Amino acid sequence: MIELISAAKVGKKIEIDVSLLEKVVSNQEKIIKNLAIIIYSFYLCPQN
């Protein structure tokens, strides 16, 4: 019984880690897209 409980805890921790990783990745994708837009707009509108 103890083994089942600890296995369940480990499983839950892995799920949490994966969801955190997914959030981090999606945030990084948003940041990269925003940076790309900023860089692209600088190329289109040179600040002389």
Alpha carbons 12 and 15: distance in angstroms, whole number? 5
**Structure tokens that stand for 19 in this block:** 């969801």
Q: pLDDT tens digit string along 1-48?
A: 677 778 778 778 888 888 888 898 899 999 999 999 999 988 888 765
Phi, psi values for residue 46, rounded to 5°: -60, 135
- Parse the chain into domains and list their residue ranges: 21-48
pTM strictly above 0.85: no
